[in-house]
């Protein structure tokens, strides 16, 4: 991403401090801290089971961390109680904050009984209670942006996996989120369908959207990210610019991971 202003002077959109999360005896996150600043694309890489999805799910509190905090636009998400019973303290707050987070998963999670257009319009109409005409115009513009305008009135099962994932991205964009969170958005797709989804994500990066992206595609991470974070066994093992992480790798574990991934 090219930006005149250095990212470090931009406000923090997502700030994670000392996050810990266990499932029973399995300690998955062992103290993770990082920030995504406005306009920054942060990629999370690491082997399967290293805690990438859990970390992403803690940002929107689909998983409640045992310890540590998550702040969105400098507002800390309020939690109460002690592990393993720590829980969301303020339902109002979390609903408001979740509406600032656009989440795209590996599985597309579109409603099968709704047209693509209705899928995209659902949250702005039902959750945000915005006027239909305005939402429809915006939804059609989002579908055009991701390259599937002609599929607005089709149903999910009439679309390819790549088209469904692009519809899911349009749906996430339509709530006008402060940050987009992607969890391996192309890992369920055939390689030829992957390309079109990656192109859309790159477009969003170039527009200056704040994004946190879990990906297994190192070439893509290198091309799209401002910062890359390598997770290993629940800790940040190495982080830096793509050139630092991929071009001047320090950690032996990361070297091993990159060798295996290539
Ligand atoms: P990654 O996305 O890096 O592959 P995950 O965050 O999905 O890793 O998982 C990290 C570890 O936590 C794995 O060992 C996984 O089996 C375990 N795990 C994830 N979610 C749960 C859960 N809800 N209950 C129990 N174990 C889980
Ligand atoms: Mg995962």
pLDDT at 261: 87
**pLDDT at position 217:** 94
Nearest atom in ligand 1 to the alpha carbon of residue 184 is 2
pLDDT of residue 128: 87
Nearest bound ligand to the CA of residue 183: 2
54 lines ligand 1 (CB under 6 A): yes
Distance CA 146, CA 203 (A): 9
| CA 220 to ligand 2 centroid distance, Å | 17
Residues in the chain where the model's pLDDT stays below 50:
1-2
From the CA of 53, how far away is ligand 2's center (Å)? Answer: 4
pLDDT for position 7: 65
Atom of ligand 1 nearest to the CA of 50: 3
Beta strand residue intervals within the chain, DSSP E: 12-23, 26-37, 41-45, 67-72, 75-76, 79-80, 87-88, 101-104, 179-183, 210-214, 227-232, 235-240
**Ligand 1, pocket-test mutation among 19, 28, 213, 214, most atoms within 8 A of CB:** 28
pLDDT of residue 31: 98
pLDDT of 84 reads 86
What pLDDT is recorded for position 49?
95
**Rg of the chain (C-alpha set):** 18
Closest CA to 135 of 101, 108, 171: 171
Per-residue model confidence (pLDDT) at position 194: 93
* Residue 215 CB–ligand 1 contact under 6 Å: no
Strand order from edge to edge, sheet including 67-72: 26-37, 12-23, 67-72, 75-76
Mutate to test the pocket of ligand 1, among 24, 26, 182, 214 (most ligand atoms within 8 A of CB): 26
Nearest CA to ligand 1 atom 18: 23
Checking ipTM against 0.90, whether it exceeds it is: yes
At residue 262, the pLDDT reads 77
Alpha carbon of 236 to ligand 2 centroid (Å): 16
Could you report the per-residue pLDDT of 199-236, keeping only the tens digit for each? 999 999 999 999 999 999 999 999 999 999 999 999 99
Cβ proximity of 19 and 31 under 8 Å: yes
pTM: 0.94
Q: In 126-226, which ranges are E strands?
A: 179-183, 210-214
Predicted confidence at residue 4, as pLDDT, reads 58
pLDDT of residue 5: 64
Residue 151 — φ and ψ, nearest 5°? -100, 10
Q: Per-residue pLDDT tens for 169-206?
A: 999 999 999 999 999 999 989 988 999 999 999 999 99
What is the whole-number distance in angstroms between the Cα of residue 77 and the centre of ligand 1? 22
pLDDT at position 15 is 98
């Amino acid at each position: 991403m090219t930006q005149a202003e250095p990212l470090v002077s931009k406000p923090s959109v997502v700030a994670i401090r000392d996050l810990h999360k266990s499932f029973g005896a399995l300690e998955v996150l062992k103290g993770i801290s990082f920030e995504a600043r406005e306009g920054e694309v942060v990629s999370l890489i690491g082997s399967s089971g290293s805690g990438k999805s859990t970390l992403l799910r803690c940002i929107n509190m689909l998983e409640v961390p045992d310890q540590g905090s998550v702040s969105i636009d400098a507002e800390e998400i309020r939690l109460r109680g002690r592990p393993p019973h720590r829980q969301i303290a303020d339902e109002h707050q979390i609903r408001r904050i979740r509406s600032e987070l656009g989440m795209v998963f590996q599985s597309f999670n579109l409603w099968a009984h709704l047209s693509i257009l209705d899928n995209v319009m659902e949250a702005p109409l039902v959750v945000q209670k915005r006027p239909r005409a305005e939402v429809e115009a915006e939804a059609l513009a989002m579908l055009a942006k991701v390259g599937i305008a002609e599929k607005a009135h089709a149903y999910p099962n009439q679309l390819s996996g790549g088209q469904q994932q692009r519809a899911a991205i349009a749906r996430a964009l339509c709530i006008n989120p402060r940050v987009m969170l992607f969890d391996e958005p192309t890992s369920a797709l055939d390689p030829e369908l992957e390309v079109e989804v990656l192109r859309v994500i790159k477009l969003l990066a170039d527009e200056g959207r704040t994004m946190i992206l879990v990906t297994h595609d190192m070439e893509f991470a290198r091309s799209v990210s401002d910062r890359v974070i390598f997770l290993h066994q629940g800790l940040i093992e190495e982080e830096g610019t793509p050139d630092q992480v991929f071009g001047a790798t320090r950690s032996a574990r990361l070297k091993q991971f990159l060798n295996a991934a290539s």
